[in-house]
Structure 1
Amino acid sequence: MRAQGGAPCYRLRYRRGPLLTLGLRVRLLVIGVAGLSVGLALGGIMLLGALGWTLQRTVDAEAFRTGDAVALLAAEKALPDPLPVAGGQLQVQVVDGQGRIRAASIDADRLVPMLRPDQLHAGQRQRLVVDGPRVGLAGPVRVVTVPAGTPADPLTVLVAKSMADVRHSQYVVRALLLVGFPLLVAGLAVVAWRVVGATLRPVEALRSGAAEITGRAGPGRLPVPAARDEIQRLAVTLNDMLDRLEASRARQRAFVADAAHELRSPLTNMRTELEVARRLGDATDWPVVAENLLADTERLSRLVDDLLLLARLDEQPARPDGSAVRAVGPVELGELLRGVAGRYPSPPVRLAPPPGPLWTEGDPGELRRVLANLVENALRHARGEVVLAVTGPHPDPPVPGQRGSGRAAGAYHLVTVTDDGPGIPAADRERVFARFTRLDDARARDDGGAGLGLAIVRELVRRAGGSVDLADAVPGPAAGTGPGLRVSVRLPALDEPEADF
C-alpha cells in the first residue's frame, strides 16, 4: 500500500490466535491445566500398562512354579492322580507325545488337552492365551507349558490360570482413573486459579500505581512487594527509572527556564535600544545604538551556539565508559596550545614551553573549544596574567578503563590553565560545572557570560576520555580561598600515533 504522496508504506500485521485474546491469568491457567492434563493422561496410561504387565508376570510366575513342581514329580515317576494343585483357579494336565492326558488336577478335563496339537511344541516353555470355554474357566485363560519326563517318554505339563481377576483389577483402576481424573484436574484448576491470581496481584498493584502516576503531576512511586522475587526486583527497577525520569524532567525544566531567561535578556536590551532610538528620532546616536545592538547580537549568537552544542552532546550516543561514539584522531597538545594562545595578546596570556611533542586522541575542534573556554573564563577573572601549560606523560589513569589500541596503559597528559584571580571556594567547585551556574562575583552578564562555558568543557573532556577539576593556583593553609585558580585537564596519552593512524 502507499501513503499520501506516493511513498510506499509497509505495515506489519500479526495474527492473533484465540489464546492471545485472553487475559494473562486465563492464559496461564489454560496452559497449566492443559499441560497437567496431558501429564496425568500419560501417567494414567503408563500406570495401566505397568499394572497389567505386573499382574501378568505374577500369573506366569505362579503357573510356572506349579508346572515345575509337577515336572519334578514326573521326572521321579511319582505322578499322583489327581494332581495336587494349590489354589482353586489353577488347572494342570500332563500330556505325552501323542497328546494323551496322563494325569490331571481334580477340576481339569481328562479327555481334551488344554492346547491343540498345533499349539503344543514339545520340549519348550510356552506362554499362551486361550478361550475360557475350552478350559472351563471364566474369561481368557493363561496357559504355560513346562517340559517333563524323559527322552524316551517325553511329557509336557500344562498349567492354566484364569485372567478374570487381572482383567477385573485393570477395569477397577481404569474406572477410578476416569472418575478421579476430571475431579483432580478441576480441583487443581481451582487451586491454580487462586495461586496465579495471588501471584499476579503485585503486578496489578504495579499497573494501578503506574496509572495513578501518569494521571497526576509530580513524582510518584510504585508499590514494592515484600517478597524478594522477580516482581519485587521489577518494582525497584521501575522506581529507579521513575526517579531518573523525574530528575531528567527537572533538569530539562530548569534548562528551558534558564535558557529562556538568558535569551530574554539580550532581546530585551535590543528592544529597549530600538524603542529609545525611535523616540529620540533624529537625535539618536546611531553608531552607539548599532554598536550596542551588535554586542547584544553577538552575545545572543554565542548563547544559541552553546545551547545547540549542548543539545548535540546530549543526543549523541555514548559508550559504557561514558565517552561518546565519534571519529577521533591524534592531536599534538603543544601545537594546540600554541594555536589557542596565539588568539590572545601576551600578556596577559602566556604559554609555558611544552617539554616536547605530546599526543592525545580526540577531536581537534572540541579540544580547541575546551581550551578557548578555559582561557576566556580565566581572562574574565585574572588580575595579571593567564598561564597555559602541558606536561606528561603521567602514570596515573585519568578515568577507569582505557580506550584505543595506541594509548599507553594508565598514561595521561596534564593541561593546566592558571590565573591569579580571586579563585573559587572549594564548596562551589563542583557546582560551577552545572549549566547556567554563575557565582555571585560573576552575576554581571556583560562579564560573567551565560554560565555554560565550564559545562561545555566538562562534556567535551568527558567525550575525549579525560577529566577536569579545579584547584587553588597556589596551594596553602588557606586552600579554597585563592589566590588564583588552576584548571587541570587530564587527557589520555598516545605512544605512537603514526602506528595507529
Structure 2
Amino acid sequence: MVISVAGLAVGLAVGGVVLLAALGYTLHRTVDAEAFKTADAVAILAGQEALPDPLPVAGGEVRVQVVDASGRVRAASIGADRLVPMLYPRELAELGTRDGRYVPGERLGIAGPVRVVLVATGSPDDPQTVLVAKSLTDVRHSLKVVRGILLVGFPLLLVGLALVAWRMIGATLRPVEQLRAGADEITGSARSGRLPVPVSGDEIHRLAVTLNGMLDRLEGARQRQRAFVADAAHELRSPLANMRIQLEVAQRLADQTDWSAVAEDLLADNRRLSRLVDDLLLLARADDAPTGRRSAAAPVELADLLAGVAAGYPADRLRVAPPAAPLWTTGEPEELRRVLANLVDNGLRHAAEEVVLAAEPAPDGSGDHLVTVTDDGPGIAVEDRDRVFDRFTRLDDGRARDGGGAGLGLAIVRELVRRQGGEVRLRDARPGADRPGLRVEVRLPGYDPAADPSDPVGPVDPVDRQGSPVG
C-alpha cells in the first residue's frame, strides 16, 4: 500500500509539473501571438506612413512604440515613453526581425515581467522597428491559480485514492486472511478440515477450492498411510510373535527341544518377514516414482520374458502359451518379471489344476500387447476386483488368508504396471461356470524394433539380463 501511494504521489507530482509547464508554454505563446498581431497591424500603418498619434491599442497593459534607425521614437501608444525606446540599443541589436524578449516591467511602468516583441517595417531608406510590450501578469496569475489548485487538489485526491485503495485491498485480502486463519486452525489441530470458500468467484475463490482439494488429497493420503502403517505393523507382528513363541517354548523345554525343527520354523518366518519387508520397500519406492516409462526402460521380447518366468515354476502347474510372432514392449525387465511372478504365484495358490501364462496382441488394434495369467480357481467377484488391488486386502472367500500371503502381491503388480505405462484388469476366465477362474490381463505398450534404427536390439533374455528367474 505504501509503495502504491508513493508511486501515485510521484506520478501526480510529475503530472502536475508537466501540466504547469505545458500551460505556461501555451499562455506565453498566446501572449506572443497577440503581441505580434498588434505589431503587424502597426507595421502596416507605418509602411503606409499613416501612423496615428497616439497609437491605438487594446488593453491598458499593452505598450507600443515605433523606433527609427537612430533610436528615436517616431510614435507611441498611450502610456508608452515617447523619448526612450522600450529596448536598449544593445538589446535591439541582439534581436531578429521577428523576435522577442522578456524585460522587467518597472522599465515600462508595468507591474511584473513584460514580453516585448519586435517587427521590422518601413522602407530601406527609412527602416523602422515596431516594439510591442505586453504584460505577463495575467499569465503569472493563471499559473499561480492552477498551481494552487494542484497543490491543494492533488493531496486531497491522493488521500481519497489511498482510502479507496485501502478499502479495496482490505476487501480483497479479507478472504486471504480467512484462508490463513483456517489453515492455521487446521495446522494447529490433529483433525482434518476445510478452508472457507468465498462466494466472489474470483481468483481467491479458485485458490480456496484448489487448496480444499489439496487438503482432501492430503487427508486421504494420511488415512491411507495410517492404514498402511497399521497393516504393516500387524503383518510384521505375526511372524515376530511366532518366532518369539517358538523360542520361548524351546527355551522352556530345554534339552527336549528339537533345535533343527525350531531352526527350520524360524527360517520360514524369517523368509516371510524378508518378503514382506521387500514388498513394503518396493511399494514405498513405487509411490515416489513418476507414472509412465522411464529412461531405464529397454526393449523386451514377451516370449522370452514368459519363458524366463516360467522356468522358476513346476511345469505340471504352469503352462506357457507363447505368441505366434515376436511381440516387443519397452520396460524394465526386472519389474516386468516381478509382475508376472506375483500373478503366477497368486494363480498357483488358487488354481485347481494349472495356470496358463500367455501373450497376444491387443484385440482392439491399438498396437498394445496383452500378457495374461489365467487360472481355474474360484475367481473373484466383480464388486471385489478393484478392492483386491489395495494394499493388505484379502477376501473372505477362497482367496482369503493363505499360504503366507500378505495381501501386497496385486498392489505391487498395479504399481509396477503403472510405472511401465500399462494397466491391469481382472476378468472371469470362464464366465457362467461354477468355478469361473480368473484371467488377469496386463496391457503393455507395443514396440517395433524395425521402426527405431537408432536402437538396434536383439531378443532380450530376462535370465541373462537380470540373473536367475524369480522362484
Structure 1 length normalisation: TM-score? Answer: 0.85
Q: Is the 8 A contact 2:55 2:77 kept in 1?
A: yes
In the TM superposition, residue 205 of structure 1 has moved relative to its aligned partner by: 1.0
Q: Is the 8 A contact 1:424 1:482 kept in 2?
A: no
Tell me the SS of whatever aligns to 1:118.
helix
Q: What amino acid sits opposite 1:384 in the alignment?
A: E
Q: Structure 2 matches for 1:58-457, cutoff 5 A?
A: 58-120=30-92, 124-316=97-289, 318=290, 322-323=291-292, 325-392=294-361, 396-397=365-366, 411-441=367-397, 444-447=400-403, 449-457=405-413
In the TM superposition, residue 351 of structure 1 has moved relative to its aligned partner by: 0.7
Shift in CA distance, 422/379, structure 1 to aligned 2, threshold 3 Å: same
In the TM superposition, residue 159 of structure 1 has moved relative to its aligned partner by: 0.7
- The superposition leaves residues 96-144 of structure 1 with CA deviations (integer Å, 9 ceiling, x where unpaired) of 2222222111221111111122222587111111121222211111011
Bigger drift between 466-475 and 246-255 goes to: 466-475
- The superposition leaves residues 299-318 of structure 1 with CA deviations (integer Å, 9 ceiling, x where unpaired) of 222111111111122233x1
Bigger drift between 175-184 and 379-388 goes to: 175-184
- The superposition leaves residues 306-358 of structure 1 with CA deviations (integer Å, 9 ceiling, x where unpaired) of 11111122233x1xxx2264512222211111111121112221011322322
Q: Structure 2 matches for 1:462-477, cutoff 5 A?
A: 462-475=418-431
Distance in 1 between residues matched to 2:9 and 2:130, nearest whole Å:
48
Bigger drift between 51-60 and 95-104 goes to: 95-104
Distance in 1 between residues matched to 2:270 and 2:394, nearest whole Å:
21
Q: Is the 8 A contact 2:350 2:399 kept in 1?
A: no
In the TM superposition, residue 268 of structure 1 has moved relative to its aligned partner by: 1.9
Distance in 1 between residues matched to 2:259 and 2:398, nearest whole Å:
30
Distance in 2 between residues matched to 1:294 and 1:171, nearest whole Å:
103
In the TM superposition, residue 153 of structure 1 has moved relative to its aligned partner by: 2.7
Tell me the SS of whatever aligns to 2:92.
coil
- The superposition leaves residues 41-81 of structure 1 with CA deviations (integer Å, 9 ceiling, x where unpaired) of 10111111112111111111111111111122223322111
Uncovered stretches (5+) of structure 1, i.e. residues with no partner: 1-28, 398-410
Bigger drift between 376-385 and 482-491 goes to: 482-491
Distance in 2 between residues matched to 1:123 and 1:309, nearest whole Å:
97
Q: What amino acid sits opposite 2:454 in the alignment?
A: A
Shift in CA distance, 337/436, structure 1 to aligned 2, threshold 3 Å: same
In the TM superposition, residue 450 of structure 1 has moved relative to its aligned partner by: 0.7
Shift in CA distance, 163/499, structure 1 to aligned 2, threshold 3 Å: closer
In the TM superposition, residue 215 of structure 1 has moved relative to its aligned partner by: 1.6
Distance in 1 between residues matched to 2:28 and 2:133, nearest whole Å:
13
Uncovered stretches (5+) of structure 2, i.e. residues with no partner: 457-471
In the TM superposition, residue 200 of structure 1 has moved relative to its aligned partner by: 1.9
Shift in CA distance, 32/231, structure 1 to aligned 2, threshold 3 Å: same
Distance in 2 between residues matched to 1:455 and 1:304, nearest whole Å:
14
Structure 2 length normalisation: TM-score? Answer: 0.90
Distance in 1 between residues matched to 2:201 and 2:440, nearest whole Å:
48
Distance in 2 between residues matched to 1:246 and 1:336, nearest whole Å:
40
In the TM superposition, residue 194 of structure 1 has moved relative to its aligned partner by: 3.1
Distance in 2 between residues matched to 1:338 and 1:104, nearest whole Å:
125
Shift in CA distance, 498/366, structure 1 to aligned 2, threshold 3 Å: farther
Tell me the SS of whatever aligns to 1:489.
strand
Across the aligned residues of Structure 1 and Structure 2, the Cα RMSD in angstroms comes to 2.2
Identity %: 69
**2:445 is aligned with 1:489:** no
Distance in 1 between residues matched to 2:376 and 2:271, nearest whole Å:
28
Tell me the SS of whatever aligns to 2:357.
strand
Shift in CA distance, 395/471, structure 1 to aligned 2, threshold 3 Å: closer
Distance in 2 between residues matched to 1:231 and 1:47, nearest whole Å:
40
Shift in CA distance, 498/346, structure 1 to aligned 2, threshold 3 Å: farther
Distance in 2 between residues matched to 1:472 and 1:383, nearest whole Å:
15
Distance in 2 between residues matched to 1:498 and 1:273, nearest whole Å:
61
Distance in 1 between residues matched to 2:386 and 2:109, nearest whole Å:
106
Q: What amino acid sits opposite 1:37 in the alignment?
A: A
Tell me the SS of whatever aligns to 1:176.
helix
Which fold has the larger relative contact order, with Cα–Cα distance below 8 Å and residues 6 or more apart in sequence?
A: 2
Distance in 1 between residues matched to 2:96 and 2:292, nearest whole Å:
91
Tell me the SS of whatever aligns to 2:91.
coil
Q: Is the 8 A contact 1:123 1:156 kept in 2?
A: no
Q: Is the 8 A contact 2:306 2:322 kept in 1?
A: no
Q: Is the 8 A contact 1:393 1:493 kept in 2?
A: no
Bigger drift between 132-141 and 245-254 goes to: 132-141
Q: What amino acid sits opposite 1:241 in the alignment?
A: M
Q: Structure 2 matches for 1:47-58, cutoff 5 A?
A: 47-58=19-30
Distance in 2 between residues matched to 1:492 and 1:184, nearest whole Å:
68
Q: Is the 8 A contact 2:394 2:400 kept in 1?
A: no
Between the two proteins, the alignment pairs up a number of residues equal to: 453
- The superposition leaves residues 407-455 of structure 1 with CA deviations (integer Å, 9 ceiling, x where unpaired) of xxxx222111111111111111111111111111256533361110011
Shift in CA distance, 340/419, structure 1 to aligned 2, threshold 3 Å: same
In the TM superposition, residue 294 of structure 1 has moved relative to its aligned partner by: 2.8
In the TM superposition, residue 464 of structure 1 has moved relative to its aligned partner by: 1.1
- The superposition leaves residues 217-243 of structure 1 with CA deviations (integer Å, 9 ceiling, x where unpaired) of 221111112222222222222212111
Q: Is the 8 A contact 1:472 1:482 kept in 2?
A: no
Equivalent residue in structure 2 for 1:499, among 424, 445, 454: 454
